[in-house]
Amino acid sequence: MFRKILFAVGLLTAAACTPVSARPLVEVAVIDRDNGQWLPQYAYRGDSWLAGTPGHRYSVRLTNTTGERVLVVLSVDGVNAVTGQTAAASQAGYVLAPWETTEIAGWRKSLDDIAQFVFTDLGDSYAARTGRPRNVGVIGVAVFQEARPRYYVPAAPPIARGYDGRERNLDERSASAPAAAADAIAEESSEKSATRQSIGTGHGQREWSPVGRTGFERASRSPAQLTQLRYDDRRRLVALGVIPHRYYHSGYRERPEAFPEGFVADPPRY
């Protein structure tokens, strides 16, 4: 399917900055592309968590719940998924038509293709390999409303430029970032490794995903919605208490077992 990605110039109106909205303008979900399952979200100490499977590809599903176009700046591990820059809300993003749903499945490499999102070891994540491991383990969106909505439906989600109006290079940023960052991760003690992030998002295989460009005038400098989803390996989330231990063992086996345990128990009484 032709995916229209639009670079919208980040023009602003004179209106005051809008506060972060309590209702979601855009619903965010993560889908495991290798098994087709939507990853459940677990609320824990004020955060929403997802359990990723190392080696599995995933996509971020964005749904515009409004009758107007919106701009969605997508950050993965603290990196803008379109430009490769260290993420900021003022940067390029995808523009969704009214009520549109789309899936973003990778790092934008050009107007024609992406590098797939894939759960991988922390040291092999794109952010760590480019010297930016600090924010590995979080997927976020900053959503902006349009100053003067244009009611037309593009073939796929658009992307917008930053506030300065200059187009961003879609090629990889900091490809030759210091290897010292990854080395430092590998040299951490076993004690620290038990508490730190265990997986991140890798720079997977290329995939055809053509896009286009559009204009978008942001209604304010501040996003109308900020959403963050944290993620890690399921075993670590169980160890941290994010996923209750009994829930993990009883409800999330990889497949049914013919001989799980024990003997034949009496049936319950009516």
What is the rounded average pLDDT of the residues 1-29? 54
pLDDT at 154: 53
The confidence score (pLDDT) of residue 244 equals 85
Q: What is the mean pLDDT of residues 81-103?
A: 95
* pLDDT at 246 (0 to 100): 62
- Within the chain, how many helices (H) and strands (E) appear? 5, 15
What would the two tokens of residue 48 be? 């929403």
E-state strands within 11-168 = 11-12, 26-32, 42-44, 47-52, 58-64, 70-76, 79-80, 94-96, 101-104, 106-108, 113-121, 138-145
Q: What angle do CA 249, 186, 86 make, to 5 degrees?
A: 90
**Stretch 142-155: mean pLDDT:** 73
- Statement: residue 183 has pLDDT above 60: no
pLDDT for the residue 105: 97
**pLDDT tens-digit readout, 60-89:** 999 999 999 999 999 999 999 999 999 999
Q: Judge whether 38 and 29 are in contact, CB under 8 Å.
A: yes
pLDDT at 233: 95
Q: What is the pTM of this model?
A: 0.73
DSSP 164: T
Q: Is the pLDDT of residue 109 over 80?
A: yes
What percentage of the chain carries pLDDT values higher than 70?
Answer: 65
Report whether 108 contacts 205 (CB < 8 A). no
Give the residue extent of every domain in the chain.
11-174+193-251
Q: Which residue has the higher pLDDT, 141 or 148?
A: 141
